[in-house]
């Protein structure tokens, strides 16, 4: 190798080494904003309730279509939402009682009645239990000073990209 070429290669290697060291040092140092303590994310009660509203509507259309597996799924999701509400928001703003007391008081018996109706694939009982759940939502809203938030039976499916028709026909139904 000619002397000049060797010198160029050596200086290139040095430049690369310096650059690599600088880069790795930069990677090791945390960015200044990442060093600030971030409070853990907690989902808001309003957000949980927004999801509850969506599931309440889906539950109705699943029951109406006698799609019992979907109805059972939506009921389960509703229960999980209420569990999260009690876990993350046991006390909320000017709500006079703890949610851990209000949720069981206002909705538990309707959720259990829905469970029974879904397992029995009984549409009239499903309708009755659904209306009693909705009444429970509204009673809790009134008690919680959110009485302006009124729920009712939905009239149109919340999403046009989901089929509520039963994917697997139940016993006794035409295929």
Q: What is the binding site for ligand HEC (CB under 6 A)? A: 45-46, 49-50, 52-53, 56, 92-93, 95, 99, 102-103, 106-107, 133, 136-137, 140-141, 144, 146, 149, 151
103-112: buried (b, 16+ CB within 10 Å) or exposed (e) per residue? beebbeebbe
Task: Give the residue with the Cβ less far from ligand HEC, 49 or 164.
Answer: 49
Cβ at position 145, least distance to ligand HEC in Å: 8
The answer for 166, left when phi > 0, alpha when psi is -120 to 50, beta otherwise, is beta
Q: Whose CA is closest to 93, among 144, 39, 48, 151? A: 144
Nearest distance in Å: CB 34, ligand HEC: 31
- State the Cα–Cα distance between residues 78 and 106, nearest whole angstrom: 14
Q: Terminus-to-terminus CA distance in the chain, angstroms?
A: 83
Least spacing, CB of residue 113 vs ligand HEC, in Å: 13
Which is closer to ligand HEC, CB of 58 or CB of 92?
A: 92
* Least CB distance to ligand HEC at residue 171 (A): 29
Of 49 and 70, CB closest to ligand HEC: 49
């Amino acid at each position: 190798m000619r002397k000049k070429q060797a010198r160029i290669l050596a200086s290139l290697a040095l430049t690369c080494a310096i650059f690599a060291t600088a880069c790795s040092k930069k990677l090791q140092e945390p960015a200044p904003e990442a060093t600030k303590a971030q409070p853990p994310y907690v989902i808001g009660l309003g957000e949980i309730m927004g999801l509850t509203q969506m599931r309440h509507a889906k539950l109705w259309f699943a029951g109406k279509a006698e799609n019992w597996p979907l109805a059972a799924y939506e009921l389960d999701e509703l229960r999980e939402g209420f569990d999260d509400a009690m876990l993350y928001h046991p006390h909320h703003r000017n709500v006079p009682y703890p949610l851990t007391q209000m949720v069981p008081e206002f909705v538990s018996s309707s959720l259990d009645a829905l469970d029974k109706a879904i397992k029995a694939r009984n549409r009239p009982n499903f309708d009755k239990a659904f209306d009693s759940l909705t009444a429970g939502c509204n009673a809790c809203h009134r008690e919680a000073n959110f009485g302006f938030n009124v729920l009712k039976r939905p009239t149109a499916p919340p999403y046009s990209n989901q089929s509520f028709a039963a994917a697997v026909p139940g016993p006794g139904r035409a295929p």
